[in-house]
Amino acid sequence: MARLATFASRVEADLMRARLAAQGIDARVEADDVGGAYPWLQSGGVGLIVEDDVLAAAQGALSNIEAPPMEAPGDLEAAELAANAMRPRGTEGNGSGWVNVAILLAIGGLMGYVLGRSEVLAHVQSTLAGHDHPGLESQETETVELDENGDGRIDSWAVYRGSEIERWMSDRNADGSPDSWQTYEAGLVGRSEDDDDFDGKTDRWYEYRGGVIVRSKFDGDGNGLPDGTTEYVHGVAVRGSLHPNGGPVEEEERYVDGLLREVYAVAPDGTSKRIRTYDALGREIGRPEPQDGR
């Protein structure tokens, strides 16, 4: 086996694998991300592997496809950008319950059975119309279907305009329709949306700048209004707030090295008081002593 090329993300590597397969060349993706379950572990790049006897043919085919790989596995700047764009999203919300939910969502993600290929694509087009992802109907776009978990069934879709990716969609609960969407700007992720309770409504939103996350919001009660926000600096969570249904801030979260460590209650007059503290594993370790014997 020989490494044909190294890419900044699994998305690029899978696209190239699909295009090589269309030319009769078999290749497989190699990455330290547990089969795609932990994409933020792709910091060393994602390799495309071929048999030794088809290496020359694969190199020739690769040179004719406009989707440049990383210069080398050691291209740390590109790898770091890809890792930051796909890093696990910060915990948001109300106390340790939201912390536990966010952690489970970050490391979970069931991949499974989906509808037939033609039925899936039609379903994707219909679903995208309700999530403000225009342009799929354009004749200039190409939709590439992918089997991310290697079970022989389509579970992800990449939409390209020419050689540049515009959208990425995933079906995580095997119901045949996407429940996670990413929109790209100049080849870098610009925003994404997730339907984590699979009710057909977006309940998490993520904003990126230069491919690096800067803000996330979540809807905890399913009414379409954000209940909490987390802010990031250089892709690392630094502060958060709980504001049910977009109303006044009721709690503030403070992070250290991307980990939630303190929660403060915010009074209507703007004053705040610490009400919870957490250790580096997200476990609650302290609450203030009750005042006046209460």
Domain 2-81 carries which CATH code? 3.30.70.1530
> What's phi and psi for 142, nearest 5 deg?
-130, 130
Burial 53-80 (b: 16+ CB within 10 A, else e): ebbeebeebbeeeebebbeeeebeebbe
Question: Tell me: the pLDDT tens digits for 14-54?
Answer: 778 777 887 888 888 886 544 444 444 444 567 888 898 88
* The predicted structure's pLDDT at residue 36: 46
Rounded to the nearest integer, the mean pLDDT of the chain is 74
CA distance 186 to 71: 19
> In this structure, what token pair is assigned to residue 63?
């040179």
What CA–CA distance (Å, rounded) separates 91 from 113? 29
Q: Distance (Å, rounded) from C-alpha 263 to C-alpha 141?
A: 46
pLDDT for 106:
39
What does the pLDDT read at residue 212?
92
Which pair of tokens denotes residue 122? 């039609």
Token pair of 231, please? Answer: 């802010």
- What's the DSSP call for residue 100? H
Sheet holding 2-7, edge to edge: 2-7, 46-50, 28-30
With a cut of 70, list the residues of the chain below it in pLDDT.
8-9, 11, 31-45, 65-139, 289-294
Q: Which two tokens stand for residue 294?
A: 């209460």
In the chain, domain spans: 2-81, 89-286
- pLDDT score of 293: 46
Residue type at 252?
E
Identify the DSSP state of 293: T
